[in-house]
Structure 1
Amino acid sequence: MSIEKGDKNEAEQNFKVPPIMAVPTQRSSLRSVLIVATCTIAMIVNQSNSTAVSISLPTIGDDLGIPEAKLNWIVSAYPLSSGCLLVLFGRIADLYGRKRMFCVGSLWLAAFSLGCSFSKDAITLDILRAFQGIGAAATIPASIGILAHAFPPSRARSIAFATFAAGAPLGGAFGLAIGGVLTQLTKRSWRSPFYLSAGVCAASFVMGLVVIDADLPSTETDQRIDWIGGFLVTVGLVLIVFVLSQGEVAPQQWKTPYIIALLIVGVIFVAAFLYWQYHLEKQLDDPSVPKTKWNPPPLMRLSLWTRAKGRVAVMMTVAFLQWCGFLAWCYWAQLYYQNYKGYTPLLTVIRLLPMCVSGITCNVIVAALVGRLPLVWFMAIGTGLTSVAPLLFGLINPNATYWAFGFPAAIVAVVGADFVFAGGTLFIAKVSLPHEQSLAGGVFQTMTQLGTSVGVTVSTVVFDRVLRQRSADMGVILDANADGAPKAAQLDSYKAAEWTNFSFGVLATILALIFFRGVGVVGQHRKQIDDQERTVTDPISESKT
């Protein structure tokens, strides 16, 4: 299957096809392993920065006097900033150096992680969390580009991406575990995980300087950056995610005038971004149009979403829905254990610890089979199993043993995150041109980060509405902070939130089954591949359905 005409034109006009230029001819096996380890550590830190805070939310709320209804902003601020900047930073990394971007991002993360640990009030913590996310926006797309160029299509690339992908669920589980332990057992309580994150980021910075291959000059002839597009998409996404995060806690909730206004403005900015990208892409593909400062290459070619017969768009949607369900389940599961069951952070960690074992096992499975099984197996099985976790919590009996609901949920929750991330990153890397690997990876990451914000936000809306309605049915009118709700109303609210998360997973599974049938293997187990030909052809293998 050949790539679309516009993609081929871009390859011919803006990319000089070289012989395996980005892969060093001399690199020890140890250094290759360390490159993968460095990028994987960055992914682990990125995910743990969300979940470590999530497990500490009740403690943070008590310490800083933040009502439960407003705690979700501490979680959402991080993926808000990182998700909104991934596309722009991916483009910058492709042009000016992935190693350079990775190191700058790691150093930035270390600085603002340390800053979060000194927060004295909710506003300061929210702002620093947003700045912390900017570092992740720099490191993650750069990591994808580093791996794509360090390992040509081969079994080594499959293992590298599978290991990197495992960093997402492992980081989530690691964040929950270490966050709970440090919050409960250390003198600095919830501030301790930020100290640890700062130290790991500093180590990642040093490893990046030492082991990652030196940046080579970009092979694009046109290296202008679409700053207008970057401004439009960043502002639009920031406004939309802000509204989603604040709509339920605003003075008049979703009827609040500034919530309505900001949502409309955010949608207008995103629509303007899409139109601007369409306009730039048409001008780029027309050789008669002279190059000026007003028509740089688009930040994100809209045709990227149509590649592989539109399956790229489906992959992005599945990743979005998967993260909506997975991390929202993590969010509500730990709140259920701590706020409803009354467990300490450490006891909560113990109940979520099977996620670590399951994540490691999934990584081994993906590395062994990603070059042998069709993509649909990973996508459908992964999303289907992950959706079982919120289903179990939607049906949970608080009086039942942990082994009936909690344990199987913790085992299967992480499967989809591992399978979808590994399959998705390999798929995106194979349909992307060599000079846009970090950009394409940034778009994929944007969808997962936005999924985190949207999943937590939507389930929070459901939780709050059900809590107030069920409390009113029992004769209890809650105040603005929803304090004093009956236990039965709380349980129904937790279940309703988890049913919402279950619906995300089911929809992702349906999309995977429908659209990825016929897509072949995305990983590689052949040792020799003609890289130059794959620069200008769509490598997705398709079989007859």
Structure 2
Amino acid sequence: MTDLSHPEAPAPDTHPEEGKQLHLGWALVLISMAQLMVVLDASIANIALPFIGNDLEIADANLTWIVTGYALAFGGLLLLGGRLGDLYGRRRVFMIGLAVFAVASFIGGFAQNEAMLLASRGLQGLGAALASPAALALITTTFPAGPARNRAFAVYAAMSGAGAAVGLILGGWLTGLDDVVGLEGWRLTFLINVPIGLIAAFLAPRFLRESESHPGELDVPGAITGTLGLLGLVYGFSRAGEEAHGWGDTWTIASLVAGIALLVVFAVVESRVKHPLLPVRVFNNRTRATSFLVMALVPAAMFAMFYFLSLFIQLVIGYSPLHTGFAFLPFSVGIVIGAGLSSNLVNRIDPRYIAGVGTLMAAVALFGFSRLSVPTGTDDLLAVANSGGFLGADVNYWSSIFPFIVLMSIGMGMTFVPLTLTAVHHLRSEDSGIGSGVLNTMQQVGGALGLAILGTVSLHFADGTKTDLARDLATKGVPPEGAKGLAYIGSFTEGATAAFLVGAVLIAIGSAAIWLFLNVKHEELATDGPETPVHVG
């Protein structure tokens, strides 16, 4: 059996375990299925939130924790999950993560109260934090460097990027199945994970090879300070993005300050321990550090796009939840096309050009969304209210939204594949799990930060308009509650388009970083093994 963890070991599939090379396709199916399940669960419950709140009598203010609780546990525990895979075997941790996720989904599907549901969401986040970095690391230990690994990363990136859109579609469909299966439809958004997770965990030993374990090398002080620090940041960013709290909230500030302080302590600890949770050498490569940075900026804008555009399509245009989910179907198709295109190009073209063009395409798409416009005058609002219609009912999806969804999705596919390759390329074998954990952490924390920042931008631009509209509507005899609701709809577009514009700027900054600092050649991606020992400079 090949020593998969030793730095000077040959390429992962040079001497694979007997029979494993015949099942690379099935190995990819398992890894991709697990990644899709983990990613889509961040959005699949969104559409079902009103139904969950009604059935379990959860206050509106606490409904957001069904989404935030998952993101909090997932983002906060990713570094630890990645390191546990390195130390105790990536296949083992992958299987444990899937099993935990499935059990948590079962608990959530049959939750009888708020506490039970929120606990299950936190447990799902733990399972995802164990399975996701292990899944990415398993690609590097299962597929040989070059075209085979590039294709595997393309599928992985497509699953990661399309997961949010698939979650919206699946959530909308399952939520409407109440009369078919005899259960509340929202429960199916959780229960669907149970057979998928258990089957993937059961089949993993057959199609995936185990990495060498290093028990006893866990950095406990680093695990505690790093995990709590990330939890503090994700919680603070998530709370800052909520209208009821914002950046000035005491607990938001306290959480962010505590998170930063703990991460400073974490950095000190990591510089002194023999077996650090996060080896500094992971960041010593300029291309790798650039990949991590951009993979924080891009999801920050992409997740915010899903959030604001889905609300715009429902609240302003008037689509139903299921119709809204299908409005994002082109994104799932486009990102698969972009990922497939980039996986072929990366064998012949340097990653800088592929990811650079991809980010520019995404920035243009977000700028296109920022040009969305609907009539928002007082008379327009009154006319819509009296007719029972929607403010933006005449917005043409095919000309105003569809082209930019396609452009952004292809751009994202062209970005994720080369950056995933460059983020984990030439890592030492024993660091591939933590490298995957860092990459996933950047995406999760970046997404939380992006939603918080762009949510603040949206509120800032919408608040002034909302106040003026509510006042004008009141003078025309509209009751206070009705005036408040109409003013919100009327001001939402202005806030959302401002958020799209800032998102375009974020991706443009990421694109500039790619063009300036991502200097790995495409020929290097066809090689395996760690870099030379000299990492300084």
Aligned counterpart, 1:361: 337
Q: Deviations over 1:93-137 (max 9, x none)?
A: 112111100100001111112222234555543442222111111
Cα drift, residue 168 of structure 1: 0.7
Asked if 1:469 is matched to 2:464, the reply is yes
User: Match for 2:366 among 390, 396, 401?
Assistant: 390
Task: Write out aligned runs for 1:78-477 (5 A).
Answer: 78-120=70-112, 124-187=116-179, 188-213=184-209, 215-218=210-213, 224-247=217-240, 249=242, 253-278=246-271, 280=272, 295-307=273-285, 310-397=286-373, 398=392, 399-476=394-471
Cα drift, residue 401 of structure 1: 1.2
Cα distance between partner residues in 1 of 2:322 and 2:432: 40
Cα drift, residue 538 of structure 1: 8.1
Worse-superposed segment, 235-244 or 118-127: 118-127
Aligned counterpart, 1:286: none
Cα drift, residue 76 of structure 1: 2.8
Cα drift, residue 354 of structure 1: 0.8
Q: Does structure 2 conserve the Cα–Cα contact (< 8 Å) formed by 1:79 and 1:452?
A: no
Q: Which amino acid aligns with 1:521?
A: H
Cα distance between partner residues in 2 of 1:250 and 1:355: 28
Cα drift, residue 178 of structure 1: 1.4
Cα distance between partner residues in 2 of 1:18 and 1:347: 51
- Closer/same/farther in 2, CA of residues 98 and 485 from structure 1, 3 Å limit: same
Give secondary structure in 2 for the equivalent of 1:299. Answer: coil
Cα drift, residue 380 of structure 1: 1.3
Give secondary structure in 2 for the equivalent of 1:153. Answer: coil
Q: Does structure 1 conserve the Cα–Cα contact (< 8 Å) formed by 2:79 and 2:434?
A: yes
Q: Which amino acid aligns with 2:188?
A: S
Q: Which amino acid aligns with 1:273?
A: F
Aligned counterpart, 2:23: 31
Give secondary structure in 1 for the equivalent of 2:43. Answer: helix
Worse-superposed segment, 35-44 or 361-370: 361-370
- Closer/same/farther in 2, CA of residues 455 and 198 from structure 1, 3 Å limit: farther
- Closer/same/farther in 2, CA of residues 497 and 52 from structure 1, 3 Å limit: same
Give secondary structure in 1 for the equivalent of 2:192. Answer: helix
Give secondary structure in 2 for the equivalent of 1:298. Answer: coil
Asked if 1:520 is matched to 2:499, the reply is no
Q: Which amino acid aligns with 2:464?
A: Q
> TM-score, normalised to structure 1's length?
0.84
Q: Which amino acid aligns with 1:537?
A: T
Cα distance between partner residues in 1 of 2:52 and 2:307: 15
CA RMSD of superposed structures (Å) = 2.8
- Closer/same/farther in 2, CA of residues 467 and 115 from structure 1, 3 Å limit: farther
Cα distance between partner residues in 1 of 2:68 and 2:125: 10
- Closer/same/farther in 2, CA of residues 98 and 31 from structure 1, 3 Å limit: same
Cα distance between partner residues in 2 of 1:523 and 1:159: 16
Q: Does structure 1 conserve the Cα–Cα contact (< 8 Å) formed by 2:12 and 2:140?
A: no
Cα drift, residue 383 of structure 1: 1.7
Count of matched residue positions in the alignment of Structure 1 and Structure 2: 498
- Closer/same/farther in 2, CA of residues 75 and 387 from structure 1, 3 Å limit: farther
Cα distance between partner residues in 1 of 2:66 and 2:360: 29
Q: Which amino acid aligns with 1:17?
A: E
Cα drift, residue 484 of structure 1: 5.2
Q: Deviations over 1:60-103 (max 9, x none)?
A: 45655667776544333222211221111211111211110010
Cα distance between partner residues in 2 of 1:166 and 1:54: 21
Q: Which amino acid aligns with 2:192?
A: L
Cα drift, residue 371 of structure 1: 1.3
Give secondary structure in 2 for the equivalent of 1:367. Answer: helix
Cα distance between partner residues in 2 of 1:373 and 1:442: 27
Q: Deviations over 1:465-503 (max 9, x none)?
A: 333322112244999xx7553432122122223223222
Cα distance between partner residues in 1 of 2:8 and 2:284: 23
Q: Which amino acid aligns with 1:235?
A: L
- Closer/same/farther in 2, CA of residues 334 and 122 from structure 1, 3 Å limit: farther
Stretches of structure 2 that go unaligned for 5 or more consecutive residues are 374-391, 475-479
Q: Deviations over 1:229-257 (max 9, x none)?
A: 11111111111221222235587644443
Cα drift, residue 389 of structure 1: 3.4
Cα distance between partner residues in 2 of 1:372 and 1:38: 28
Cα distance between partner residues in 2 of 1:224 and 1:37: 32
Aligned counterpart, 1:4: none
Q: Deviations over 1:306-363 (max 9, x none)?
A: 21xx232221110001100111111221122223323211211221111122122123
Cα distance between partner residues in 2 of 1:190 and 1:34: 31
Cα drift, residue 226 of structure 1: 0.8
Cα distance between partner residues in 1 of 2:421 and 2:263: 27
Q: Identity over aligned residues, as a percent?
A: 26
